[in-house]
Amino acid sequence: MAGTAVLGRVTWRAAKAVAVHDETATARTLALAICDWPGHVAGQHVDVRLTAPDGYSAVRSYSIASAPSSDGRIEITVERLPNGEVSPYLTQEVVVGDELELRGPIGGWFVWRSVQTEPIQLVAGGSGIVPLMAMIRSRRSAGSSAPFRLLYSVREPETVFYRDELQALSNQGDSVVISYVYTRVTPKDWPRPAGRIDAPLIGTGTWPSTLRPTSYVCGTTSFVEHATDLLIAAGHDRERIRTERFGATGERK
């Protein structure tokens, strides 16, 4: 099963870019068609390898943004890092028709499956929204009625990934409840000043601990530790909080 894939059991595959589009000024989504793709579970990731003419290669891991499908395609969303070896190429150079090397799917713990019916709390910091978006999309494609909430922390409105799709979800009353946190610049007339997620926001922007939700927290290490501590302080069971961390360079931990 894709949900139990581990690194030692997956091989490198050829992937072709079939569509690309920008999410923000520094982030791009790539749709990839993959040879013999075995399928994935929302929350899993892939390794992407680039090899230079002199033989030097660099490998980076990226979360899958798309819901599971049977057409052999996935989407990844990559944020460009100023000194990155791989992300500048993926966000600025790749065009439709280009081929990449890809290994995956990888991961079996930080995943959401359509058989889960309990309330789900998603907490994202910046590009940490990517695997959580796969969960949101998987919920929709599976026709699940599991109640979802998303608490999404970003620097400013222009850095929101999947802006139009999230707005459409917000307009559907029975879909996903979305709350934003802006850490540097807020929209005009926003009711809350710019700042980090704090205890009052956890109290109003997440499921009550009494509902025993499963929480998925994704972002930088410092963000994940801060958000997890707040959830635990609010009464959430540590065993029901799943985390995915990214270092300062954007690499997965």
The verdict on residue 91 lying in a domain is yes
Q: Where is the domain boundary, 106, 136, 166?
A: 106
Grouping H, G, I as helix, E, B as strand and the rest as coil, residue 220 is strand
| 207 and 100 part of one domain | no
- Residue-by-residue DSSP string for 83-141: T-SSHHHHHHT--TT-EEEEEEEE-SSS---TT--S-EEEEEEGGGHHHHHHHHHHHHH
In this prediction, residue 83 carries a pLDDT of 87
Query: 89: domain range?
Result: 2-106
Under 8 Å CB-to-CB from 208, ≥6 apart: which residues?
A: none
In this prediction, residue 247 carries a pLDDT of 60
The verdict on residue 209 lying in a domain is yes
- List average pLDDT for each run of 10 residues in the chain, which is 253 residues long: 46 97 97 96 97 92 96 96 92 97 96 97 98 97 95 97 93 84 96 95 96 98 97 97 76 50
| 174 and 58 part of one domain | no
Max distance between CA atoms of the chain, in angstroms, equals 58
The verdict on residue 192 lying in a domain is yes
C-alpha–C-alpha distance, residues 166 and 69, integer Å:
20
CATH number of the domain within which 58 lies: 2.40.30.10
The verdict on residue 172 lying in a domain is yes
| 37 and 127 part of one domain | no
Cβ proximity of 136 and 122 under 8 Å: yes
User: Could you tell me the two tokens for 56?
Assistant: 């030097």
Neighbours of 104 (CB within 10 A): 27
